[in-house]
Structure 1
Amino acid sequence: LDGTLLDTLADLAASGNAVMRGRGLPEHPVEAFRRFVGDGTAAQVYRLFPEDRKPDPDEHAAALAEYMAAYETRWNATTRPYDGIPALLDALAAAGVRLAVLSNKAHAFTQRCMAEFFGAWHWDFVFGLREGFPRKPDPAGALEIAERLGLAPRDCVFLGDSGIDMETGRRAGMTPVGALWGFRDADELRAAGAARLLAKPGDLLELAPTQQG
């Protein structure tokens, strides 16, 4: 979702910096958040603290609550789909490709973002980080989606913008495909096992006939 379908970076940064500002701690440039996000909100908030000022569990929990409250007020202030994503979704839907989302973003916010920006398309499953379920790169969520779709993992493409996504797809036995328009770079995606890197969303259509065939 974040960094693949939606450019959420500025809203994530504004929320995180609000937490730091409220605690009298240094804020971070927006670009720094490319490295902070990807493996869940709790980990993201922990990384915001300076190395010599990491929070204890109580402060971490409080900061996480502050972050969620801040994000609640600005989650869609500047967030928008990446250029080319709506056209890609139109083409995939026309080709009969099944669509699902698996995110480490909080489940409620994942569903809210999808309803706000992608409600025009049918999604078989939209899963954020759910209580009792492991976060990516554990492949459990990806395998659950494949099973519930009635598809073999080898017939699924796992598109994402981070090494965590590539590892998830690889461990699930899917084809991991890296989105170069997202938050991370080509070196990270390759190192994590990307089978292919895409420069723009429409390039994914080259894989659709093979995966559907």
Structure 2
Amino acid sequence: MKPTVRAVIFDLDGTLVDSLEDLADCVNTALAAHSLPEHPLAPYKYFVGMGLENLIRSAVPAGTPETVFTAVKTRYREEYSQYWARKSRPYDGIFPMLERLAAMGIPLAVLSNKSRIFTGDFVRRFFPETPFVTVQGSPEGGTAKPDPAMALAIAAQLDLPPGSVAFMGDTRVDMETAVNAGMLPVGVLWGFRPEEELREHGAKIIISKPEELFDKLIFSI
């Protein structure tokens, strides 16, 4: 039997937007500026997902002095503030999916471990017409996914029980967030991580294309 949901919360990077090349390019520029080795694109699929601190920790060599780590992080922020949208684009099929959900009256939200500023910038740049009820990024020094606090706050804002909300993402962090919040974990295969990881960390629904969402779920308002 298909699950019934009344709202959808989306992860951003790897779910709505393919942002990996811009992230990798900016980190590599920051690494090179401090004579540290750069990485090919593929490892960045595993560096991202847990916020800025984890991204830079994953990219710098083990044992990097804290002063160098901080300098790399600062340079990355400078680069990303200028070049975050150079190559990033919504995935194929995302716009029709969002338009169809909105036309059905399904409340939509975004919850990312990207900073609040950049999360808002991304949504304003790429989804200016999508009626997201709320767009949330990770506060500096605050809680981040997989902590369920922000997901639960979104459900409360929508005045919906968590169990009626689908949480859609591409990494274990998203699936763990959904499980921790008591929401329906929906894993997507066009993002950064493989199906095995998503299922291992709680995915109940797996989709390989955005339009499959409507085949796997029943939507109710």
Equivalences for residues 195-206 of structure 1 within 5 A: 195-206=204-215
Deviation per residue, 1:90-149 (Å, 9 max, x gap): 110111110000000011000000000001111101001113530000000100000011
Matched, 1:147 2:156: yes
Residue 54 of structure 1 corresponds to 64
Letter in 2 for 1:206: D
Deviation at 1:30, TM superposition (A): 1.1
Structure with higher helix content: 1
Structure 1: runs of 5 or more not aligned: none
Say how many residue pairs are matched.
Answer: 210
Aligned with residue 25 of structure 2, among 2, 7, 14: 14
Q: Alignment partner of 2:43: what SS?
A: helix
Structure 1 CA distance for aligned equivalents of residues 54 and 140 of structure 2: 15
Letter in 1 for 2:214: L
Structure 2: runs of 5 or more not aligned: 1-11
Letter in 2 for 1:74: Y
Letter in 1 for 2:220: Q
Q: Alignment partner of 1:31: what SS?
A: coil
**Contact residue 111 and residue 127 of structure 1 kept, 8 A:** yes
Deviation per residue, 1:43-95 (Å, 9 max, x gap): 101111123x4332x33222211111010111000100000000101110111
Residue 171 of structure 2 corresponds to 162
CA RMSD of aligned residues (A): 1.2
Structure 2 CA distance for aligned equivalents of residues 70 and 187 of structure 1: 33
What percent identity do the matched residue pairs reach? 43
**Contact residue 177 and residue 197 of structure 1 kept, 8 A:** yes
Q: How high is the TM-score relative to the length of structure 2?
A: 0.92
Residue 171 of structure 1 corresponds to 180
Structure 2 CA distance for aligned equivalents of residues 20 and 149 of structure 1: 42
Which consecutive aligned stretches of 4+ in structure 1 deviate over 2 angstroms post-superposition? 58-62
Q: Alignment partner of 1:69: what SS?
A: helix
**Contact residue 111 and residue 135 of structure 2 kept, 8 A:** yes
**Contact residue 133 and residue 141 of structure 1 kept, 8 A:** no
Aligned with residue 41 of structure 1, among 33, 38, 52: 52
Letter in 2 for 1:13: A
Equivalences for residues 62-101 of structure 1 within 5 A: 62-101=71-110
Equivalences for residues 172-187 of structure 1 within 5 A: 172-187=181-196
Structure with higher strand content: 2
Q: How high is the TM-score relative to the length of structure 1?
A: 0.95
